[in-house]
Amino acid sequence: MLKKISRSVFILLGITFLVAVAGGCSALSLPKPQMMTASRVLDINNRPVTSLFKENRVQISIKEIPEVTQNAFIAVEDVRFYRHFGLDPIRILGAAWTDIKAGKFVEGGSTITQQTAKNLFLTREKTFGRKLIEAWLAIQLEIKYTKKQILEMYLNQIYFGQGAYGIETAAQTYFGKAAASLDLAESALLAGLPKAPNTYSPFQNWQGAEARQDIVLNRMVEAGFISSEEAEKARGEKLVLKSSSSAGEGKAPYFVNEVIKYVTEKYEDGAALLFSGGLTVYTTLDLNMQKAAENSFNNGLAGRSTSLEGALVAIDPTNGYIKAMVGGRDFSRSKFNRAVQAKRQPGSAFKPFLYTAAIDLGYTQGSTLTCEPVEFPDGTGGRVYKPTDFGTTPYHYRPFTLREALAISDNVLAVKLASEIGPAAIVDYAQKLGITSKLRPYLSLALGTSEVTPLELTGAYGTLASGGIKNEPLFILKIVDKNGQVLEENKPRSQRVISETTAFLVTDMLMSVVQPGGTAGSVSSVVARAAAGKTGTTQNFHDAWFVGYTPNLTAGVYIGYDDPGKSVGATGGGLAAPIWANFIAKALQDTAKTDFSVPQDIVRVTICADSGLLATENSPKTLPASFAAGTEPQQYCGLHSYNDWFNEIVPDNDYTNPLPNDSWGFRQRLRDWFFRP
């Protein structure tokens, strides 16, 4: 005990020597203070998404720290802070005398300046030599910096428990507010934590934290910082703590992980820069949409196997901003981001690229193809490829317009159309719209047999939503270092790749998919706004997709197992589409409803579903259809203007049960010969 006390006295005797030496030395030799500072990731509205750190710290200016907060720390840690030169001889002697009376080492003599020097420059070892170095550094700090600057370093440096370093992070961790908003009671509680953060944590020991707060308030009264009445009022204030379970909780983990990858791979020493350099990363994420995405995704898979996975990604089609990203059901269980890393066959969700190519090459919504058995060389050695349709009936045995064929997702017609325009054209248009993965130029590509990621598929649909302008997906807007220097700033990368007219005509067809009669007919009642999209179900129900868009938001949902041998046992319309619809409804609940912009050269007419010509009163099934001016049908359908005698022999639309020794093709040719203009 005497040895410890004599050590304090010896330090006091050496003060004169240290002052003389320090006063004669330039502070230029003082190491530059280096403080690990957390980087902040912000959403599109500058709301905090998460902090990335080795030490969770957000540096702020002393001007952002209330005077009452500053005084609380000075009162309990170093009441003579503004009156000493870095070392406090009176405090050293007082501490020694207190130790003598107590018969043990109970009080230290370190000033705020000494604590700052220790935290910034020294290790935690407790040796006599280190104490002398600490004293010398403290004097150097006082020579080089003002008292306010030293106090700012101190308040940004100290540890408060719960992983929080610095007053700003502490205020956010314990009270869910900025340090600038702290009041007296909150300041006194935080000022009591650094002495023993775990012991006095209000999350773990409220009585201990309250007792420590009382000590701080008494010290503030003694120092003349507050009155007794103010202290009593602060004691009676009911403090509202932030939930301890949410302290330090990160949001949008899959999205944040993409930010981490980007920065660490792009910048030299990117990891150090990101986890201790105090960057501010401004992103395109919208936390409200992210929450809607996570809830819709998880609720849509509730009750299903925990190994069933998937992704949901949402993009603003007007600029390519990624607004929400779900890469799986549980980031803590699997870091694999299926939104950007999972390459899967999209099935019929790929068909819009086929139809975009066809429309742009001169086909119309009224162009017709016949669904019937058909065979093609598969392009891989002369084998035969026989496309069939979904369900127990492999063919529909009747003609379809392209509009209806896309709405019901007819496979046979898709492959027939692909054979007419050529697989290379499908590849070309898919890449124009935004697909970046390698595509195999076979006829089966029309049915989505080449693998893509949910992000690129969603981004490509966004090109249709934006009227033919491709906007590359973007997730980081700006990165700023802790000194305010802009390291990079990103703007939308836009390019018109197809005409507005072509984009609208495909969108118009895809709108019928989400209406009654389409493969996602239930979507319209949930979304209740202009929407377009396409389902996708791969062979044997391995994967389920729905990708769709409104005028201001594009989203894609993929559901499947990481094990390619497993099947989800559901269609895209039955599993993925409801998740998409619920997400869109929640994400846009506060957004005004708008319609897709209609180009001036669009002409709308009603056509016969069988012939694609202008409908008549005899047409049993009609469709509203859109055309580029000059391409709309000019003739009325004559297919159904038959006399009763012929209708009795060959009834209209009786194509599902061909007559014995007859075929639908023969009957159609007979009708055409008799009745078509």
What SS3 class is residue 497? Answer: coil
The first and second tokens of residue 294, run together, are: 């996570």
CB within 8 A of 254, min separation 6: which ones? 325, 326, 327, 328, 331, 337, 339
Q: Which of 431, 437, 430 lies closest to 453, judged by CA?
A: 437
Please state, in angstroms and rounded to a whole number, the distance separating the CA atoms of residues 436 and 410: 26
- Whole-angstrom CA distances from 455 to 30, 111, 115, 535, 547 are 51, 55, 50, 16, 10
- Whole-angstrom CA distances from 420 to 32, 410, 479 are 71, 16, 49
Strands 164-165, 56-57: pairing kind:
parallel
Q: Which of 97, 95, 117 lies closest to 27, judged by CA?
A: 117
Neighbours of 115 (CB within 10 A): 21
Please say whether the beta carbons of 508 and 365 come within 8 A: yes
Please give the backbone phi and psi of residue 496, each rounded to the nearest 5 degrees, phi first: -75, 125
Where in 483-542 does DSSP place strands (E)?
486-489, 494-496, 532-537
| Three-state secondary structure string covering 196-240 | CCCCCCCCCCHHHHHHHHHHHHHHHHHCCCCCHHHHHHHHCCCCC
Which amino acid, one-letter code, is at 659?
A: L
Please say whether the beta carbons of 532 and 510 come within 8 A: yes
Of the residues 8, 348, 512, 524, which is catalytic? Answer: 348
Please say whether the beta carbons of 350 and 429 come within 8 A: no
Annotated catalytic, 55? Answer: no
CB within 8 A of 111, min separation 6: which ones? 78, 80, 81, 84, 86, 87, 88, 91, 138
Neighbours of 46 (CB within 10 A): 9
Which amino acid, one-letter code, is at 594?
A: T
Please say whether the beta carbons of 584 and 564 come within 8 A: no
The first and second tokens of residue 431, run together, are: 């890449």
At how many degrees (to 10) do helices 500-511 and 454-465 cross? Answer: 110
Please state, in angstroms and rounded to a whole number, the distance separating the CA atoms of residues 653 and 545: 32
Of the residues 51, 77, 367, 611, which is catalytic? Answer: 77
Please say whether the beta carbons of 473 and 460 come within 8 A: no
Q: How many CA atoms within 13 Å lie on the side-chain side of 433?
A: 35
DSSP 596: P
Strands 553-561, 308-315: pairing kind:
antiparallel
Please state, in angstroms and rounded to a whole number, the distance separating the CA atoms of residues 390 and 412: 10
Q: Which of 132, 130, 134 lies closest to 115, judged by CA?
A: 134
The first and second tokens of residue 218, run together, are: 């008494």
Please state, in angstroms and rounded to a whole number, the distance separating the CA atoms of residues 619 and 400: 14
Helices (H), 444-499: 454-465
Please say whether the beta carbons of 105 and 1 come within 8 A: yes
Cα 429 from chain centroid (whole Å) = 28
Annotated catalytic, 348? Answer: yes
What is the set of active-site residues?
77, 348
